[in-house]
């Protein structure tokens, strides 16, 4: 269905931006509240434990080079179970695309413009996403190349400027409570940097010419995002210490407020915000794009662009409904989002992989059994 092709470099920036997404600004608080001063070890553990998950995505994609994720689901799991899983995945994508604007609106209304209604901010943000989806994947992928560079430079710049305030004592004692809290915190971080990459599955096998290069760019993008979020968490704990990090709503933003080099560089915390909102834009467009292409795939529509504006309108309305307040949202992250995304980005792909491998073993077995193989294979595929 999608005829546009993107390059490996664009896939790299899509992966890195999508993976950074929501994590940079907010996740350090949750990490620090669980793992305390060892949260930075948790981010290394997350990147390593995420590798097999990314490998599952890459492997599935490389087996079905001309299909997107919804088609892969329906080919492997069959028509009925496949359609149920696909519909659930699409709901997950669309729901995800109305959560991100809530964060943007919440940030703007709580930190910058307290009297502006959140819907105004959300409407601006969603308009940008709808425009990106209307322009198509190619234009959007080219834009992310620039966005990722700006975002990374801004972020590194902020981290370098805040470096003089770092106190190494904030990291001590290392592993005071053992390794278990670190592992627990990595479960939460991986829901923000590893699992959202399921949205890449709607682009990766079908929109790519060179699969070998694509594998490499997905992994490098993932490491890129992993190292930046590691830096964010490490610096938050180094500078603020874990109690402040755990009790601040936007630790990385609070961290950038500490920047005070001479009297020239002060009050420039908004460079972190720029870096954050660009990656938020990338992950939200990925969710949105995956949702509408998936929906038009499932319903066999010829043109997915007709769905962009109604779906964006729906996402805008729900961006003010999904979370009534901050307490609800924090509760939902732990009890709703984590199991929800684990189901869709870990359990389903692994299920598909297992079913695929079992099918292949049966197929091989029937080939070895002799001439009946052809009929068996045909029934297997049907």
Partner 1 sequence: MVDIVSILLIIAFCTILCLVEIPRLLRKNQYREFGTFAVLLGAGIIFALMKFSGMTVPNPSDLILWVYSPFKEIMQSLLK
Q: Which is nearer to partner 1, 51 or 301 (CB)?
A: 301
Query: What are the beta bridge partners of residue 260?
Result: 266
Distance of closest approach, residue 347 Cβ to partner 1, in angstroms: 12
Mark the segment that binds partner 1 (CB under 8 A) among 2-10, 160-168, 228-236, 326-334. Answer: 326-334
Distance of closest approach, residue 129 Cβ to partner 1, in angstroms: 15
Cα atoms found within 13 Å of the Cα of residue 72, Cβ hemisphere only: 30
CA pair distance 311, 303, nearest whole angstrom: 14
Distance of closest approach, residue 296 Cβ to partner 1, in angstroms: 8
Distance of closest approach, residue 326 Cβ to partner 1, in angstroms: 13
106-145: contacts with partner 1 (CB under 8 A): 119
172-201: contacts with partner 1 (CB under 8 A): 184, 187-188
8-67: contacts with partner 1 (CB under 8 A): 34
**Hey, CA dihedral for 131, 252, 321, 15, is it positive or negative?**
positive
Distance of closest approach, residue 102 Cβ to partner 1, in angstroms: 10
Q: Which is nearer to partner 1, 265 or 335 (CB)?
A: 335
Q: Which is nearer to partner 1, 78 or 339 (CB)?
A: 339
Distance of closest approach, residue 71 Cβ to partner 1, in angstroms: 17
Distance of closest approach, residue 119 Cβ to partner 1, in angstroms: 8
CA pair distance 325, 54, nearest whole angstrom: 33
Query: Are 283 and 196 within 8 A, CB to CB?
Result: yes
Q: Which is nearer to partner 1, 57 or 337 (CB)?
A: 337
Q: Which is nearer to partner 1, 241 or 320 (CB)?
A: 320
Distance of closest approach, residue 335 Cβ to partner 1, in angstroms: 5
Residues in the chain: 382
95 binds partner 1 per the rule CB under 8 A: yes
294-323: contacts with partner 1 (CB under 8 A): 295-296, 299-303, 306-307, 309-311, 313-314, 317-318, 320-323
Q: Which is nearer to partner 1, 64 or 332 (CB)?
A: 332
Q: Which is nearer to partner 1, 228 or 316 (CB)?
A: 316
Distance of closest approach, residue 29 Cβ to partner 1, in angstroms: 13
Q: Which is nearer to partner 1, 7 or 245 (CB)?
A: 245
Total binding residues toward partner 1, as defined by CB under 8 A = 36
Interface contacts to partner 1, rule CB under 8 A: 34, 95, 119, 184, 187-188, 295-296, 299-303, 306-307, 309-311, 313-314, 317-318, 320-324, 328, 332, 334-340
């Amino acid at each position: 269905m999608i005829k546009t092709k993107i390059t490996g470099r664009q896939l790299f920036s899509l992966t890195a931006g999508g993976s950074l997404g929501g994590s940079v600004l907010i996740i350090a608080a949750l990490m620090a509240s669980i793992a305390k001063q060892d949260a930075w070890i948790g981010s290394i553990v997350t990147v390593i434990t995420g590798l097999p998950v990314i490998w599952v995505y890459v492997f599935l994609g490389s087996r079905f080079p001309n299909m997107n994720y919804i088609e892969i689901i329906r080919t492997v799991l069959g028509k009925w179970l496949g359609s149920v899983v696909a519909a659930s995945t699409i709901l997950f994508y669309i729901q995800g695309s109305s959560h991100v604007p809530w964060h943007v609106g919440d940030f703007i209304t709580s930190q910058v413009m307290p009297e502006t209604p959140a819907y105004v901010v959300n409407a601006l943000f969603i308009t940008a996403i709808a425009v990106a989806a209307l322009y198509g994947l190619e234009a959007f992928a080219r834009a992310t190349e620039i966005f990722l560079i700006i975002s990374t430079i801004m972020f590194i710049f902020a981290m370098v400027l805040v470096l003089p305030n770092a106190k190494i004592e904030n990291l001590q004692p290392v592993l005071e409570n053992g390794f278990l809290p670190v592992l627990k915190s990595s479960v939460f971080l991986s829901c923000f940097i590893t699992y959202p990459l399921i949205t890449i599955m709607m682009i990766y096998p079908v929109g790519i010419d060179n699969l070998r290069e694509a594998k490499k760019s997905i992994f490098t993008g993932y490491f890129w995002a992993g190292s930046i979020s590691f830096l964010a968490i490490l610096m938050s704990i180094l500078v603020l210490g874990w109690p402040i990090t755990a009790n601040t709503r936007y630790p990385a933003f609070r961290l950038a407020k500490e920047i005070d080099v001479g009297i020239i560089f002060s009050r420039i915390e908004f460079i972190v915000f720029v870096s954050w909102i660009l990656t938020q834009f990338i992950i939200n467009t990925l969710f949105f794009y995956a949702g509408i292409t998936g929906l038009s795939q499932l319903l066999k529509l010829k043109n997915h662009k007709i769905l962009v504006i109604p779906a964006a309108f729906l996402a805008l309305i729900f961006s003010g409904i999904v979370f009534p307040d901050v307490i609800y949202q924090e509760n939902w992250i732990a009890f709703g989002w984590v199991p929800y995304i684990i189901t869709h980005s870990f359990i389903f792909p692994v299920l598909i992989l297992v079913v695929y491998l079992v099918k292949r073993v049966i197929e091989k077995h029937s080939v070895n059994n002799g001439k009946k193989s052809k009929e068996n294979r045909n029934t297997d595929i049907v």
